[in-house]
Structure 1
């Protein structure tokens, strides 16, 4: 069996989430050329192309998507084993925080992670959590914390930091009449079939993602569930569905076949939060929350720009 390096696996998993060599390099703390080398090395070892690259886009090949789906659980299991081993090793080992997230990890967040390691000897172990299961891994103790969309009304969870709120936009196919109009009204959501996350999230959280009705009381249809953002965008591009997304995601997931529209009357913004189990509050978690507050207080975020 060809030897496969864990760093190559980690690189591919991050690239699968970001679909951008620059953002992948930023998350891994290396150069773009190093990302290319790691991906190329893994492709040589596996013996098949995993990533499709053009001058304008990056995506997983069919084999790459299947490989990522199959290898991610093994990688996360290995990360958990290493974390527990370090915990058993006692003093002398870096403390680790296992943090889950939805979507992208932004620059201010990665800077807080760097500060946490530099000044508190804490290493971050990151993993993406399912769209529709924001709390399960934290409640089960599989993760120490997670960056998820609010609201969070679970008695066992603490919201240690609230990120700045962001606009919510409507994703529709470029061929849709609303795309030509350039914007939508909240009552027009009733004419669409909005996709919703699949998972075990509580009802109040799901309703915050996809409202059940418009302010006028007209029901909003949502007949199809999705497991990933890319799955949702593919359905939107087909012309039959719409999807509500936050502005940062829209600005990082640009596609020629999808338009993102402001929605008049949709006043409830999207907001992320850092959550953890209340009974497992630690100095490392409170330090992370404090560093995030410092980073976002230092940077004034113009209206309409991503966090």
Structure 2
């Protein structure tokens, strides 16, 4: 079943939503810059939302440093920054609504209990009661979700059999990403979600949850994934790769190339405002590649294409 996209006449509203688990690295900059460019091309609004949902993984001061780095790169939210840690009442209301409608349920299953099914939950397998159970979405047996991605084209996933009933609230009391992002995108009126391709397979779950809550589905675009020198997804824990807010031009030029844009378009830009103005004027969304790229061994902003 295809998603129900927001009509094209709706004013464009995009967002960048970093998690404060470390300083802003090149992969995050790419997502920020790419989403900003697409919003500006559409003469739309670009927002920043801090996804501070997982305190055990957060690094003290990281959110403030990330926002300061975005500012140094000229990427300013068009509206006040939203922090997910302050939005628990909205998430709880959504869960209570789903529970009341029988679309979500309490789950006491542990990871070990689900190991035999590869972690895919289709029915509760334990009689042991946890003090605080997880809350899962009840995924229907025909939970096949299809959507058209701006960059990767038609996508489809059988959520029931590939993912199963997925968590909305964890047993440790923390809100799950899938729930928070759906609630926040709807409340902020997000029409276009632009983010890294590592989240491509999360999209069908979010669309399924949007349907359960009666919310519209935004359009989606997943930018090329940034791989580290070891060929794995670039991590904030890679201390060699945070971007330098004191010298933003090299990283912005590298991100521009990574997005498939013509380097010559930025010739002569000697400062951040000039570079962003030239980038906005020359940006071609259709040139964004779907392929992954890997950081070169010689410099954090040099890349090679990975198949």
Shared fold per TM-score greater than 0.5: no
If the TM-score is normalised by the length of the shorter chain, which range does it land in? under 0.3
